[in-house]
Structure 1
Amino acid sequence: MTETASAPVHNTTESVEEFAARAKAWLAENMPRIDPDNPPDTDRGAEEPWRRARELQRRLWDGGFAGICFPREYGGLGLPYEYQKAFNEVSRGYELPMILNTPTFTICAATILDTASEEQKRKHIPAALRGDEVLVQLLSEPSGGSDLAGVITRADRRGDKWVINGAKTWSTSAFAADYGLMLARTNWDVPKHEGLTMFLVPLNSPGITMRRIKQVNGSVEFCEEFFDNLELGDDAVVGEVDKGWEVASRQLYHERRAVGGGSEYASGIGAEGKTDRPIDYVALLEKTGQADNPWAQQLAGRALAHRMVREQLIDHVYHGVLDGSLHPASGSIIRIAHAETHQLEFDTALAITGASGVVDGDDDLIRHGERYLSRQTASLGGGTTEIARNVISERILGFPREHAADKGIPFKDVKRGRS
């Protein structure tokens, strides 16, 4: 099915206030309200939430509120971030396709916008904004760790095709996706950063075997993929051949901002479902009989203060990068703040609930123990916290780079594993 890249026509002269008023009226007529006592139970590892998200995203598109900050020529509204923030505020309390924000909009579509060909932009960005395509990242590898440039999934040129062999892992929501941005090695005779190429891979292609990964908290959202002679054409290359690190670097830039909560491409803010709702400390203290406990109050107050500081930091860093007063890599600052705040809040909730958070009983309390099981993910997603600190020290503060034993060495000569 072929569709134009243009969303419904919008009044580009309306003020932020007028836009917000129009959005508020439209939401009331067209989007389902969330019952505070029974919010959607969005399990990112299940199929139904993704079908529902596509449906809701199509409603936003038809109503003219999809891709507020994406350019008009690619289906968006081409409006400044202030309009997106205004929409975010008036859309609180409505069911939105939040699971499409990351990685589809804030990471993948944003990377395509910055680095892809004109044809790729016009094909994939509007499709994502319509809810027709879900986009994911295929970056991490079973033996790769945090060294993204050390990927060994290979893309060999055979005739007019690229033939892919290798494996990826920890691919967020890949089972629900249509396309994945995949980094592969196309040249083994140059240093590792110089021989990479980014591909946009249709995930229903022959030659791809996908498996779910079950986490300690029971989630099966993450996947691993195995590529056995997967064939791709030149139209799958994003950017230039052997210059995939430039694309990957831009992708990581968007990922750090997205994970930290500072992307203008996110459509709506807030929890994806009941298991992702911010911790209500007042209700938690009352539930555990500690509403008058100074120790528990102090713990809750500290966590809330960190939450508020993080929210202010996001706004400061976004505008600082936008006006040039902060280095573009400053997204790593909010990436670290997100991890620290996330972990502090989960630690605090479990400290307040105590045994009730780990012993099967009250569902409202046991969920804090269940969420604690995924506490460390905040230090891993978007690159590890250690990598983020290196980015800040080297690119923002100008400290010397760490010694790299493989710098300048052809990748085929780099020792890997036990070799």
Structure 2
Amino acid sequence: MTESTESLEEFRARARAWIRANLRPLEANEEVGILRPTRTDEQELAAVARDREIQRMLFDAGLAGLCFPREYGGQGLSYEHQRAFSAEIAGYEYPARLQVPTFAPCAAVLLEFGTEEQKLAHIPAILKGEEIWMQFLSEPSSGSDVAAALTTATRDGDDWILNGSKIWTTGAWWSDWALCLARTNWDVPKHRGLTVFIFPLNSPGVDVQRIEMLNGGMEFCQEFMTDVRVPDTARIGQVDDGWTVGTRWMFHERTYASSPYTISTGGNSIHGVSSSWVLDIARATGGLADSRVRDLVGEGRTLDLVRDALQNRLATGMRSGKMSDQSAAIARLCAGVTSTRLTSLAFDIVGELGAAWSAEDGAGGEVGADFLMRQTATLGGGTTEMARNVISERVLGMPREPSLDRGRAFRDVPRGGRS
């Protein structure tokens, strides 16, 4: 553990020295593109193992969980320490697969709503890289309307029995634990009958199926739960009050890039898209001599600067209480818009390579597939359409759009196939 008397600059120097002595510098364009299938399954599992190893190294060095409380294995430091560490580790390998959703939103939800026993059991294990968590939130029937969950949890003595399906869970096939939203009451409006549970992904009755995307990637998964037995001690928050947990859950998901719990090195999370990527493509394809290409690169840099400044502004405002935590939707919208635009800029720059490429085309290759996948940035983590609704109604105070299910028992709400 670090001493509380360590100044921010002393911490930064210590972190810098440790990073350069222990971690491998990343190669240019090593982690770029839109969910590119760059590894075999064996290579992906090896990369996951390396992420766990690095996380344990960070823990042993007193550099894991900088803003987590000391009693759960963290360092109890400030957000400024986390930002300094993120700046120092940029350009080096780090446990990227643990940042989202393990640290944010899952560990953040455990810190806010978990029991003392749950936090002691799981937060240290997360900080040591022993547990990778997934969020079981979206469902095939409801998309971003997570309150319309049909996955059911039925009470059975001291246990709950879960049945249903979740979808679009990135990396569930190599993960350990799930944070799951389920319906426990069908006789109240949809937001009032939800409860949150945690359980291991290797629990009996959990079947994880991978989904092949148009670029050949298979990181997204769908999970089927059949009579999965979960003890009541694995419940997060109160029965039927899961929406209270859920609103904070989505807050932490939307603000992962400025979260005090995650390493953020720029770009757009699993979408390795940034202005530096666009610049690398322009250089590799010889386009910088073209003034039009330089304009596109400049637009990309502007988008990065605006996005980063906005995230910092929102994080500061929400931490101080001067801005509603619903303002997290602004960050979500900005991330989706900038990611799709940056990918479009790259596609415009590569020209004919956007239609056909080979392994010898370097940074200019695969951009065509990235372009076809670009809309994933507006869907994952809640759609940008949902973010616009939140901004208009809950941030700007505009009238709410009509809803046929408001105030109705959820079992009486018409669903697909019914008139």
Q: Report the TM-score, using the length of structure 2 for normalisation.
A: 0.93
Give CA deviations for 1:2-47 in whole Å, capped at 9, x if unaligned: xxxxxxx211111110100111122233223334486799759732
The residue type paired with residue 336 of structure 1 is L
The residue type paired with residue 346 of structure 2 is A
Change (3 A) 1:82 1:197: same
2:9 pairs, out of 14, 17, 30, with 17
The residue type paired with residue 127 of structure 2 is L
d(CA) in 2 for partners of 1:415, 1:310: 40
Residue correspondence of structure 1 range 13-412 to structure 2 within 5 A: 13-36=5-28, 43=39, 46-258=44-256, 261-270=257-266, 276=272, 278=274, 279-361=276-358, 362-412=361-411
Change (3 A) 1:411 1:373: same
SS of residue paired to 1:47 = helix
Q: Percent identity?
A: 44
SS of residue paired to 2:16 = helix
Offset at residue 251 of structure 1 (A): 0.5
- Structure 1: which 5+ runs fail to align? 1-8
The residue type paired with residue 397 of structure 1 is L
Contact 2:170 2:221 in 1 (8 A): yes
Give CA deviations for 1:107-138 in whole Å, capped at 9, x if unaligned: 11011111111111111111110000001100
d(CA) in 2 for partners of 1:61, 1:281: 34
Offset at residue 69 of structure 1 (A): 1.0
Contact 1:91 1:268 in 2 (8 A): no
Contact 2:29 2:363 in 1 (8 A): no
d(CA) in 2 for partners of 1:143, 1:373: 24
Offset at residue 321 of structure 1 (A): 0.9
SS of residue paired to 1:144 = coil
d(CA) in 2 for partners of 1:182, 1:275: 24
d(CA) in 2 for partners of 1:202, 1:343: 34
How many residues align structurally?
A: 409
Change (3 A) 1:151 1:277: closer
Change (3 A) 1:237 1:38: closer
Instruction: Point out the more displaced range, 355-364 or 373-382.
Output: 355-364
d(CA) in 1 for partners of 2:267, 2:296: 22
d(CA) in 2 for partners of 1:295, 1:243: 54
SS of residue paired to 1:162 = strand
Give CA deviations for 1:178-197 in whole Å, capped at 9, x if unaligned: 11111111111111111111
Offset at residue 95 of structure 1 (A): 1.3
SS of residue paired to 2:366 = helix
Offset at residue 292 of structure 1 (A): 2.2
The residue type paired with residue 282 of structure 2 is L
Change (3 A) 1:201 1:37: closer
SS of residue paired to 1:23 = helix
Contact 2:68 2:74 in 1 (8 A): yes
Change (3 A) 1:75 1:44: farther
Give CA deviations for 1:332-386 in whole Å, capped at 9, x if unaligned: 1111111111111100110111111220221321222222222011111121101
Contact 1:360 1:366 in 2 (8 A): yes
Q: Report the TM-score, using the length of structure 1 for normalisation.
A: 0.93
Contact 1:98 1:272 in 2 (8 A): no
CA RMSD in angstroms, aligned pairs only = 2.1
d(CA) in 2 for partners of 1:135, 1:57: 14
Contact 1:24 1:90 in 2 (8 A): yes
SS of residue paired to 1:171 = coil
d(CA) in 2 for partners of 1:395, 1:273: 26
- Structure 2: which 5+ runs fail to align? none
Instruction: Point out the more displaced range, 158-167 or 194-203.
Output: 158-167
The residue type paired with residue 386 of structure 1 is E
Contact 2:307 2:338 in 1 (8 A): yes
Contact 2:205 2:227 in 1 (8 A): yes
Instruction: Point out the more displaced range, 403-412 or 40-49.
Output: 40-49
d(CA) in 1 for partners of 2:376, 2:208: 22
Contact 2:164 2:224 in 1 (8 A): yes
SS of residue paired to 2:401 = coil
Give CA deviations for 1:119-169 in whole Å, capped at 9, x if unaligned: 111111111100000011001111112211111111111222211111111
The residue type paired with residue 25 of structure 1 is A
SS of residue paired to 1:168 = strand
Contact 1:212 1:221 in 2 (8 A): yes
Contact 1:104 1:136 in 2 (8 A): yes
The residue type paired with residue 23 of structure 2 is M
Contact 2:273 2:339 in 1 (8 A): no
Offset at residue 289 of structure 1 (A): 3.1
Contact 1:379 1:385 in 2 (8 A): yes
Change (3 A) 1:270 1:400: closer
